Amino acid sequence: MIKPHGSEILNPLYVFEEEKRNELLKEAEKLPSIVLNSAAASNAVMLGCGYFNPLKGFMDLSDAKNVAQNMHTVDGLFWPVPILNIVKDVKEISDSKRIALRDPNIKGNPVLAIQQVDAIEEISKEDKDLIVKKIFKTDDPEHPGVANFYSLGNYVVSGPIQVLNFSYFEKDFPNTFRTAYQIREEILKLGWEKVVAFQTRNPMHRAHEELCKMAKEAVNADGILIHMLLGKLKKGDIPADVRDAAIRKMVELYFPPDTVLITGYGFDMLYAGPREAVLHAIFRQNCGCTHLIVGRDHAGVGKYYGPFDAQKIFDEQVPEHALEIKIFKADHTAWSKKLKKVVMMSRVPDHTKDDFVFLSGTKVREVLSNGEALPPEFSRPEVAEILGHYYRSQTE
């Protein structure tokens, strides 16, 4: 198993010792507090899980700008995306050295973490614009990640944190939510040396299924980590519980036993394309995976990124030896009518567009909402049934 990013061992920021955790929860009730936005709350969860190893907490403005411009912190740590606690109002915490961070996603806003306040800095419009343009490659307010970033507030609260729970993820997804250290432990138990990670925020159709199998065979991996995002998505994306059910059914019926770990992580999607793909690589390395599948328009949205920008960034902007994890570059996959199987389109130069089965996301939703069956070349029938039930429930 490969080492975590930036350290010899994984250092999750969750407080494991129950007695210490209870002491901190009591302390938190007496501390000044803020209710986090969902983006900062998901960052805290990821820090607690060890996915953002070796970070010790939220970045300050200088680190955020340096990461945006150069993909390194001021101290030289390779990192692709600022990890920030941005707030709108700091009156309650302006003179505080320790503060309680409250969860915006659970009724009553229970304490999620305690933060040491190293600095509170006002972020200018110029600095926001710089970060946005570097991370998202656009400042278009229609981009969901851009719109969300601009809405967060104008103050950066930096400093190390102690994480006391994992928000709603453990309760809502008990069979799927896993920390980076739990995944490493599971991989060790299974005796896997080479592990291919597959990132998804969507249900998996035939092409995704075959891509995982192709990658496993190509790198001679022992197993596959299907790692789904469980946090907040943009409007129109399929909810995590529906995706989870569809993926589990597909793996149960169509993968060999004991070759797949189905897990999820508590992060809000950024839709940052290439930069988010690099972040995905870092936290899969922290899980112990040796390879990450990076496909067409990885972590993208709309037409803001080129189809293979998320692959190019690893060749053009990620320094050699910055990461131990390797990238499996995948082309667009589709069902070949000629070969009667899913193929990578770049590997069948004798095919024309008419030789493939294509369905747009819009067409898929339309077919399922109407109670019609998806073509078997596109989706396993058991998966289509789960998705169809969800879409029909939305129109009733």
Taking every pair of C-alpha atoms in the chain, what is the biggest distance, in angstroms?
69
C-alpha distances in Å from residue 138, one per residue of 142, 303, 333 = 10, 11, 28
pLDDT at 369 over 80: no
Query: Higher confidence at residue 391 or residue 149?
Result: 149
pLDDT band at 318 (very low <50, low <70, confident <90, very high): very high
pLDDT the model gives residue 371: 79
In this model, does residue 281 exceed pLDDT 90?
Answer: yes
pLDDT of residue 362: 62
Pick from 107-121, 169-183, 231-245, 302-316: least confident: 231-245
* 171-265+271-395 has CATH 1.10.4190.10 classification: no
CA distances from 391 to 142, 200, 229 (A): 25, 19, 20
CATH number, domain 18-167: 3.10.400.10
User: Is pLDDT above 80 for 76?
Assistant: yes
Residues 389 and 392: their CA atoms lie apart, in Å, by: 5
Q: Kindly state the DSSP code that residue 342 receives in the 8-state scheme.
A: E
Least confident of 43-47, 170-174, 363-367: 363-367
Catalytic residue annotation: 201-202
Backbone angles phi, psi at 251, to 5 degrees: -65, -40
Residue bearing the bigger pLDDT, 99 or 342: 99
Task: Enumerate the CATH 3.10.400.10 domain ranges in the chain, comma separated.
Answer: 18-167
Residue 355 DSSP label:
G
Q: Are 78 and 323 in contact (CB under 8 A)?
A: yes
Q: Whole-prediction pTM value?
A: 0.94
Separation CA 272–CA 137 (nearest Å): 8
Give phi and psi for 276, each to the nearest 5: -70, -30
H-assigned helices in the chain? 18-28, 38-49, 61-70, 125-136, 144-151, 169-172, 180-190, 206-219, 240-254, 274-287, 309-316, 361-369, 381-395
For residue 62 the two structure tokens come to 């200088």
Q: Range(s) for CATH 3.40.50.620 in the chain?
A: 171-265+271-395
pLDDT tens figures, 216-260: 999 999 999 999 999 887 777 788 889 999 999 999 999 999 999
> How far is the first Cα of the chain from the last one, in angstroms, to the nearest whole number?
48
Task: Give the bridge partners for 336, in sequence order.
Answer: 341, 356
